[in-house]
Amino acid sequence: MSRLLPLALLAACAPQPTPLKAGLATVALDAPIGTSLGGYNRSKPSTDRGSRWALNFAASTGTLGNAPTARALALDDGTTRVAVVRIDTALVTATLQSRTEALLEPGVKLVLAATHTHAGPARFFRRALTSGGSDITAIAMDVYDPELEERMAASIAESVRQAFMQLTPVAVGHGEADASSLNRDRRCQNDALYGEGYRDGKVRVVRFDAVDATGTPTRPIAALLNYAAHGVLLGDGNTLMSAEVTGALEEAGGALTGVPLLYLQGAAGDVSPTAGPHQGPQALDAYGQAGAPLIKVAFDAAAPQANGAPRQRLQHTRRGVSTKRADCGYARGDFPEFGAVGCGLAGSACEQQLDPKDIICLPLTRTGVVSTPVTALRIDGVLLVTLPGEPTTALGDRVREAAMTVEGVEQTLVVGYAGDHGGYLLEEADFLRGGYEPSVSPWGWKFGDHLVREVKAMLSTLGSGQPAFEALTPEAVTVRRPIDESPTAPAVLESPPASLERLSTAVFRFSGGDPTLGTPRVTLEREENGVFAPPPTEPLVLRVRQTPSVAEEPGATTRAHEYTVQWETLPTTPPGRYRLTAAGTARRAGETTTYRLESAPFEVTASSQAGVLASAGVTAAGQLAVKLRFAANPVRYGSPDDPVGNYRLRDFGSTAADGALARGGAATARLTGPDGVATTSALVWSETAEALVLELPQATGRWVVEVAPRAFTDGAGNTNGASVHLELNR
């Protein structure tokens, strides 16, 4: 006679679901300084000193702030292992993805996406020739270089390896916030279709919190950040590698939330960032400062709840989308067989309508490309859908609408610039409005709608077999670049002076090795209790100058490699003792060795330059309002041979021409009224007026305000080293 086991005992004996685990790691993207930058069609100026890592474009000369990295989020639910990796580049190619996949552990799935910085490395996009023999991928990415692609793939794979070493059980939450103040609609051609200003202005966050044995969240450890904005604030004349606006959001948002963020670019094909009145590198600072509070809102809303009933934890699906002419919906003769560029380029006006029969395109020759990938990654109630190019807002909305019909999906992240690159991705009606974007969309006006249909087919069959993506084989590396020797051992060439006032720039120069051996790791350290340690991240500028230059002597085998590090201090930089360090690799006399160099320690003190610029006025309430400012600080970084200057934003509420406002504190002032009577009064900071204020008597006429040297101290301890004299009429 059989006995029935109690239900509680059966439940205890049943296999328990493995908790979802996550880990995050960041690795420098292995693209040596000198590599040309991608995203623009860049000319090579006569002053270019050359590099073995650049061909038709200018050589990059260093790094600015957040140098390009690969940041990986590893996910493992005991059955499925996935790595989501963002890289600081303009795009991702299928060969970079497949070359990286070949280096991963068996069974690991890879979601590889670019942040779309236009200051990241180029030269990893396979050639695509027009019928006239022009290489169209080289127009914005310089000529393909398999050795660089191989190096980048190795560093991406290393980020994945390190992320899987950090796995910890997590709970997942998601949130969003309005961040429409950070971007703008840049494509006027589709205003008649979608309305003026049409764009996705939401910032979306997927948060991962470590959990205890009961599944209760204990602390956040990482988050995905999804937003739409081109990385274009530095412009095409920039020669410094940078993570651009996406890096600014990652860095500032991470500092405010207290966890590393991983930026996933959204439907940014027709969306640009808004920088306000700031320029160049200062605009990056401003962008991060403006975005961080909005990211924090979404991050707080994403706080996960305790893990409840088991759910579909982790699911990865990839589908190959055919790019063949017939599969895209064209009849023979409607569109070139192997794709085309330049379609509709002649039409750039904002109000127009193109007829497909009249569109002239420049056909491509056979490239071997027959498909491109789309991917769906499900993490609990969150669905990431990746698209192989630059989706416009409308295309992203169509994908999001389709994804939200999937049962159990609560939030969808549309991730562009992922897995491959097929140019801009537009709906047919949008494509036929002309402009720049259709001209670099190689599969023509029917491809965007075809792609959406294929995404819908994938979403309706998640977890099932899908058409395979047929990737091209990466080109073999047949010849590797030589490594130049250094004539002397690495050494410190210049340290900052022993004492620096705030708003000064600390400069550290050293001789090192060939950039081909890797970019030196430069850090700022602050002394605490007698020990030097890195403070919260401070943006540094690193530049290299090689003598003789590659342009001067391309065949030289020995060159001096002189590096310069700059750190610009702010009005609020904590006072104290600092030093700059550098660690890297050099080759000398046939031997490759590592080195670590330290600058002499230096003291950062309060500034005495408050009030170099000053103004006085009267508030609506009748108060005297005095604004004391530091000197104007226009950005200087245009020429590769000039030092970078004023690359940091000193005051979010002031432009470089205004000069940073000395905020907070109080001043003792001598006030002379229209009657000639002088009094000594205290001016006190008003946050509302953003000025030092004082109640004025009712007398009208000429007033004189005088602040003696060091009679003012702002909220950070800075003073006025010189007297301030102001006059106003009331």
pLDDT at 2: 43
316 CB-side CA count, 13 A = 17
pLDDT at 8: 45
**Do the domain assignments include residue 13?**
no
Contact yes or no for 68/117 (Cβ under 8 A): yes
What is the pLDDT, as a whole number, of residue 107? Answer: 96
Same domain assignment for residues 321 and 414: yes
Please check whether residue 502 lies inside any domain of the structure.
yes
176 shares a domain with 100? yes
629 shares its domain with 717? yes
**pLDDT of 46:** 87
DSSP for residue 180: G
Cα-based torsion angle of the residue sequence 397, 447, 339, 429 in order, rounded to the nearest 10 degrees? -80
Whether 471 is covered by a domain: the verdict is no
* Residue 295, H or E segment: helix 280-301
Both ends of the chain: CA-CA distance in Å?
105
Write out the residue range of the structural domain in which residue 95 sits: 21-459
Tokens (6 digits) for 91: 């795009």
Same domain, 500 and 623: no
CA angle 587, 89, 77 (to 5 degrees): 100
**Containing H/E element for 531?**
strand 531-533
- Could you tell me which residues come within 8 angstroms of residue 165 by beta carbon, excluding any fewer than 6 positions away? 23, 25
Q: Is residue 464 part of a domain?
A: no
Spell out, as residue ranges, where the chain has pLDDT lower than 70: 1-17, 307-312, 345-348, 638-642
Residues 534 and 648 in one domain: no
Measured over the CA atoms of residue 395, residue 400, residue 401 and residue 403, the dihedral's sign is positive
Domain membership flag for residue 141: yes
Answer with the one of 577, 605, 633 that is the final residue of a domain: 605
Beta-bridge mates of residue 602: 578
- Which of 579, 605, 631 terminates a domain? The answer is 605
Q: CA–CA separation, 641 vs 493, rounded Å?
A: 18
675 and 698, same domain (yes or no): yes
> In the β-sheet with 240-241, what is the strand arrangement from edge to edge?
240-241, 62-64, 541-547, 560-568, 505-511, 491-494
- What is the 8-class DSSP label of residue 66? S
448 within a domain of the structure (yes/no): yes
* Tokens found for residue 50: 């050359």
Q: What's phi and psi for 51, nearest 5 deg?
A: -165, 150
Task: For residue 713, give the amino acid letter.
Answer: T
According to the model, what pLDDT value does residue 348 have? Answer: 66
Whether residue 466 is contained in a domain is answered as no
Cβ-proximal residues to 460 (8 Å cutoff; 6+ apart), any chain: none
CA distance 691 to 712: 13
Are 571 and 634 contained in the same domain? no
- CA-based nearest residue to 295, from 343, 262, 324, 341: 262
Residue pointed to by tokens 């309060």 = 606
599 shares its domain with 629: no
Residues 121 and 214 in one domain: yes
Rounded-to-integer distance, Cα 429 and Cα 448, Å: 10
**Final residue before a domain boundary, out of 438, 459, 480:** 459
Rounded to whole angstroms, the Cα distance separating 150 from 543 reads 24
Same domain, 571 and 645: no
pLDDT at 622: 87
DSSP category for residue 266: -
Give yes or no: residues 594 and 635 share one domain.
no
Q: What pLDDT was estimated at residue 346? A: 55
DSSP string, 337-390: TT-EE-TTTT---SS----GGG---EEBPP-S--EEEEEEEEETTEEEEE-SSE
Between β-strands 271-273 and 168-178, what pairing exists: parallel, antiparallel or unpaired? unpaired
Does residue 501 contact residue 608 with C-beta atoms inside 8 Å?
yes
Q: Is residue 11 one of the residues assigned to a domain?
A: no
Residue 305: what pLDDT? 83
Rounded CA separation 52/335 (Å) = 39
Number of structural domains (the chain) is 3
Q: Is 136 helix (H, G, I), strand (E, B) or coil?
A: coil
Residue 62 is given by DSSP the state E
What pLDDT, on a 0 to 100 scale, did the predictor assign at position 4? 47
A 10 A CB-CB count for 668 gives: 14
**What's the CATH number where 548 sits?**
2.60.40.2300
Residue 163, pLDDT score? 98
Q: 525 phi and psi, to 5 degrees? A: -125, 145
Q: Are residues 390 and 445 in the same domain?
A: yes
Residue 461: its H or E element = none
Distant-in-sequence, close-in-space partners of 475: CB < 8 Å, separation ≥ 6 = 95, 126, 144, 146, 149
Pairing of the two strands 21-28 and 69-76: antiparallel
Residue-level pLDDT at 312: 54
pTM: 0.94
